[in-house]
Amino acid sequence: MKFPGLFDFVSLIVAVPEGFAFLAVCLFAFLTVKAIYNVYFHPLRKYPGPWIARASRLPFLYYQVTGRLPHAIKEIHEKYGHVVRIAPNDLSYLQSQAWFDIHGHQASTRSGWFERDPSVYPQLPGRAPSIKLYGQIDGSRQGVVNISDWLNFTTFDIIGDLSFDIVYLAAISHLPKPLFSTALKILETFAMGDLAKDKDFAADRVNLRLQQGSDRGDFVSPILRANDEKGMTVSEIQSSFNIIIVAGSETTATLLSGTLYLLSQHPEVYKRLMTELTSAFPTRESIDMAAVQYLPYLNAVLEESLRVYPPSAFNQARIVPRGGAIICGEMVPGGTAVAVGTLAAFSSKYNWIKPEQFIPERWLGEGWSGDNRRVMQPFITGPRNCIGKNLAYAEMRLILTLFLLNFEYELLPESHGWMDFRFYLLWERPRLMLKLSPRAVLN
């Protein structure tokens, strides 16, 4: 005798109206039992959090899809404390120690504002003139611009030059407006949105670049020189540069946009920064990548911008290995997804004095010893930290300096409240409209 299979049973059930009701009852019963288990019997049952988040992953997915997940996690921490359960199998942390327990403790913490060892990014000193060139701005221009787009153009051009020794956008600013709009839409396809097309674009650029040899002085050159039989495969190189192109352009432009917005909202910070910049650079020729590294208030402004508006507020979750792991002094069961809630940790009252305020002075040691600066890891920590940290700082310092010394700017009314928006893998930035006028400072 042939026994009916699962497909036969399902076909029989859905063939009659009562079958739908039966399936609904079964599904409801399963979800109810699962929710009860998650809340009362799950290995993470002792960790606090909203009942619905502990019972089901649906709230997590809802906030993720709607772009409000970092904000929701922040609210959960504000209500429930340092360690919270944001989904049945997910924990979020505020403590600085969590960075090192989750991502791997480094031999020494970051000291100062930047990595001083030029061997970390040997291409940067030699390519400094290129970075400066793309940051050069015609200070005689004036008018209304969406500065967010232009910062994307600049950083994308820089990463294109450093990665592949090619320039994408240098000529676009001179195109007629209709053609320029078309070019912008093309750029949005592979530089700001569609990750699948990003991957194809990076693969094409890598394939073209691999045919050109190893003596061009870009990021690909040392890979080719060291790429023997134990080196990276073509596929690995393509994947790496897909990340570099997006992360090296979009995140930097995001932070610079946020910094300009924050400066427009805090005139006292803007005034102090301009005093430092005009004193340090009497002429255009005196501005270079090396000099801007040593400006304390410029660095403080950028650090505070990273704290208030981290370009990547996405929780970089890791899975606890089988057997568990100790995180912040507590044993966490294996299989748990753990992460530091970046936006929450960077703006928590547990870590900062006046956390919601933009105060660069806290990075200068001016009476802010109560701040837990160790929790500030915008590039993560450990062996998998952001490989583009040094490049990002170099770009941010130089581009911001050049912009501020060339232009005075005013935020237009339509861009007030600009920072209240959604987050997916990156922030979904609306237009940041500025009215620019030339600044008669540099010779």
Mean pLDDT across the stretch 391-410? Answer: 90
pLDDT at position 194:
44
pLDDT digits (tens, 9 = 90+) for 113-141: 223 333 334 444 444 444 444 444 555 55
As a whole-number percent, the residues of the chain with pLDDT over 70 amount to 64
Using alpha carbons, select from 198, 311, 183 the residue that is nearest to residue 258.
Answer: 311
Out of 8-22, 231-245, 333-347, 424-438, pick the least confident: 8-22
Above 80 in pLDDT, residue 94? yes
15, part of any domain: no
Residue 25 lies in a domain: no
H helices of 67-122, where? Answer: 69-80, 96-103
Whichever domain contains 308, its CATH number is 1.10.630.10
Tell me whether residue 177 is exposed, middle or buried, using C-beta atoms within 10 angstroms of its C-beta: 0 to 12, 13 to 18, 19 or more. exposed
Separation CA 350–CA 333 (nearest Å): 25
Give one word for 380, left, alpha or beta, with left for phi > 0 and alpha for psi -120 to 50.
left
pLDDT tens readout for residues 342-369:
999 999 999 999 999 999 999 998 788 8
pLDDT over 50 (residue 335)? yes
Structure tokens at 183: 């070019």
Q: Is 385 in contact with 120 (CB distance < 8 Å)?
A: no
Residues 150, 155, 157, 158, Cα dihedral to 10°: 150
Beta strands in 371-440 (DSSP E): 407-411, 433-438
Rg (CA), the chain: 25
E strands, 80-158, where? 83-87, 90-93, 143-146
Rounded to whole angstroms, how far apart are CA atoms 155 and 131? 9
Is 33 a member of any domain?
no
Predicted confidence (pLDDT) at residue 104 exceeds the cutoff of 70: yes
Q: How confident is the model at residue 227 (pLDDT cuts 50, 70, 90)?
A: low
Q: Is residue 29 situated within a structural domain?
A: no
Per-residue pLDDT, 134? 44
Residue 294: give the domain boundaries.
Answer: 42-438
Nearest C-alpha neighbor of 34 from the set 90, 85, 91, 89: 89
Confirm whether residue 26 is marked as ligand binding.
no
Structural contact between residues 424 and 130, judged by C-beta atoms closer than 8 angstroms: no
> Count of domains in the chain?
1
Helix axis angle for 296-308 and 252-265, nearest 10°, is 100
Locate the DSSP E strands across 17-171.
Answer: 83-87, 90-93, 143-146
Residue 266 in tokens: 């805090």
The pLDDT value recorded for residue 191 is 38
Residue range 259-298, pLDDT digits in tens = 999 999 999 999 999 999 999 998 877 888 888 999 999 9
How confident is residue 93, by pLDDT bands cut at 50, 70 and 90?
Answer: very high
User: What is the value of pTM for the model shown?
Assistant: 0.77
pLDDT tens by residue, 243-265: 666 666 788 899 999 999 999 99
Question: Positive or negative, the Cα torsion across 88, 315, 246, 186?
Answer: positive
Inside any domain, residue 345: yes
Share the mean pLDDT of the chain. 77
143 token code pair: 């008018």
Instruction: Output 406 or 222, whichever has higher pLDDT.
Output: 406
Q: Is residue 122 part of a domain?
A: yes
Report if residue 18 sits inside a domain: no
8 A C-beta contact, residue 325 and residue 336: no
Task: Establish if 17 belongs to a structural domain.
Answer: no
